[in-house]
Homo-oligomer: A and B are copies of this chain.
Amino acid sequence: MHISEKLALSRAEGKPTFSFEFFPPKTAQGVQNLYDRMDRMHDFGPTFIDVTWGAGGTLSHLTCEMVKVAQSVYGLETCMHLTCTDMEKSKLDDALKEAKLAGCSNILALRGDPPREKEKWEATSGGFRYAKDLVKYIRERYGDYFDIGVAGYSEGCDDNEDVDELIDHLKEKVDAGATFVVTQMFYDTDLFLEWVAKVRAKGIDIPIIPGIMPIHTHAAFLRRANWTRCNIPKHWTEALEPVKNDDVEVRAVGRDLVAEMCRKLIDAGILHLHFYTMNLAQATRMVLEELELLPDLESPLQKPLPWRPSLGLNRRDENVRPIFWRNRNRSYVARTQDWDEFPNGRWGDARSPAFGELDAYGVGLKGTNAQNIKLWGSPESIQDISDLFVRYMSGKLDSLPWSEAPISNEADTLTKDLIDLNRRGFLTINSQPAVNGAKSSHLVYGWGPRNGYVYQKAYLETLVSPEHIAELITRIERDPGMTYYAVNRDGDLKTNTPGDGPNAVTWGVFPGKEIVQPTIVETVSFLAWKDEFYKVGKEWANCHSSVSPSRYVIEDVMDTWYLVNIVHNDFHIDHGIFPLFEGLQVADMDKPLHRLEVPNGNATNGAPNGESTTNGQKSTLNDLVDAAKSAAETVTQGINGLAVSSN
């Protein structure tokens, strides 16, 4: 959506709003950290974010990449900066094309910031001369597709101190087609408001968005003031000077000064504030908190859907997803990014597109081996893995290989049951409780427009050891209210669902609307998820040395355990799924797993597996597989049609 449109909407509500600016970090780890931060800062509720143009080389490519990820994965309305003086036309065309493909419809058209490593702006040959040329060019090429912002310099810019002349330039940019103005940072609100009055007097009536620079450290405060040559009001200096050696105090005093400035702007009718976050969250968060603009726990942001909607190309109407990726949002978006159409209203419409190949999108385990071992330790038995899962379910661990975020408070009512299940060796992957018509404003379960009701069918996804799969399925099939899918790594699928149509497990009823059913369980997507699930598990195993017990025990689970999902279709019944597991307990959980004794007599306790060894041991691996298979078959005797194999 266009920024100017969003501003008009919130202006109509008389509500102050804000936005965040980020820049492309220099290292891969920095990028990952920034993504995580952008993800968290989504919850502050910015109207949009923008990403500065990484002039030249890989950094400009990174800008496009960040815009795409912010739009698609994090569902943040994103504005891409674009500078013109240091750009070939072809590169500019590429950037605009990429922005459009990413679903981005907002550009901040700039003449050209100095590259971050230089201190001074330099015009380069080629490309356009002025920002207005760029504005004109975008309008010519793309019509009204992009909302186009331009810079405003309330206290002059680095090569021109004549504010009036700069307002004339601004008028030219507006006449060329700009639809909003973002200003340079400033500290002197009076000067700024005078400038706004002058701009308005020139007949410029598009939104003016003040750029706000929170105070992170005293040194940075001075450096930035110096760099932009903006005026520092006397009372700012008086307040900051005495505490300048105490970073904590600087931030507290800075928060008050900046918040005071923001209040003055809001009182003057300037309802939208643009924060230069410098890729940091804290100083900005403190100001927003002081202004009481952050959503609080009692009335969090109204969620439009139970999952974070993507704003990627053609995705704005997407409103149905399989439940399986709930804890791996990013991989779902990546794997479906090439779909021509996204399901809207029902899953059926989008059943044809295949899920992208696992390898094509870097869908896998996050973090380095060392980081992951630090995080999840070196389990040597099912007991160790179970303990890990119990810690996650208890909120004492922030992630698991398949869950990139801490367990959601939605699972609170299930915590006891989940911990109990994991203690008994059922490793739970995903779950939701039954909800029989909670208000759409409900703090935990609510989503969608006001005055509606939301519903859920109880759902549980869990790993089941081969010793229990037969009994569990027998129990599930005894209850006509339950539907399930069970699959092992090889894709031997067992299910009692009628047909292969989707099962809606989350839906909402709203005034004046069709029923919305944003989460479903369904065959094709479950099989795609299964591949991803076992691949991630395999990668977790591979974090450990090939001769380690950890590698062996995790691999054993991946090779022989079943991934099972169960839906209790009667959403009037609480906790209906857990009784299925009554009395089931994985045997000898605390026994460190040993390599199986294989026919040729090679003792394999703790020995390396086939993958990283020499030819000689190849047969050993196959023998192992056979042995495991025959063991599994013994277990599953009596399950009609349920093939079990272990590789």
Contact = CB atoms under 8 A, between A and B. Distances in A.
A514 B344 contact: no
A515 B507 contact: yes
Contact of A344 (B348, B436, B569): B348
A501 interface: yes
A387 interface: no
Interface string A486-528: 0000000000011101111001011111110100100000000
Interface string A288-323: 000000000000000000000000000000000000
Nearest to A503: B512
A455 interface: yes
B509 A503 contact: no
Given A345-B345, A345-B349, A346-B346, A569 B504 contact: no
A539 interface: no
Q: Assembly of this chain: how many copies?
A: 2
A29 interface: no
A276 to B, nearest CB: 36
Given A346-B345, A349-B345, A514 B504 contact: yes
Contacts of A569: 451, 510-512
Contacts of A510: 569
Contacts of A570: 451, 511
Contacts of A347: 514
Interface in A560-575: 567, 569-572
A503 B515 CA distance: 8
Contacts of A517: 514-515
A383 interface: no
B571 A481 contact: no
A12 to B, nearest CB: 15
Contacts of A345: 345-346, 348-349
A483 B514 CA distance: 13
A56 interface: no
Contacts of A483: 511-512
Given A348-B345, A480-B451, A569-B451, A498 B515 contact: no
A446 B413 CA distance: 32
Interface in A340-366: 344-349
Given A348-B345, A451-B570, A507-B509, A501 B481 contact: no
A496 to B, nearest CB: 8
A481 B450 CA distance: 10
Nearest to A496: B512
Given A509-B504, A571-B509, A514 B348 contact: yes
A514 B504 CA distance: 5
Contact of A512 (B507, B567, B572): B567
A503 B507 contact: no
A51 B625 CA distance: 63
A236 to B, nearest CB: 46
Contacts of A572: 437, 453
B520 A498 contact: no
A509 B512 CA distance: 19
Identify which of A436, A453, A480, A513 gathers the most chain B CB atoms within 10 Å of its CB. A513
A510 B513 CA distance: 20
Contacts of A344: 348
B346 A511 contact: no
Contact of A481 (B346, B507, B511): B511
Given A348-B345, A451-B481, A509-B455, A504 B498 contact: no
A304 to B, nearest CB: 14
A571 B514 CA distance: 14
A507 B511 CA distance: 14
A501 B513 contact: yes
A440 to B, nearest CB: 12
Nearest to A450: B480
Contacts of A567: 512
Nearest to A498: B512
Contacts of A501: 512-514
Given A345-B349, A346-B514, A498-B511, 4 more contacts: A345-B348, A349-B349, A451-B570, A515-B517
18 contacts: A345-B345, A345-B346, A345-B348, A437-B437, A451-B480, A483-B511, A498-B511, A498-B512, A498-B513, A499-B512, A502-B514, A503-B512, A504-B513, A504-B514, A504-B515, A507-B509, A512-B569, A514-B517
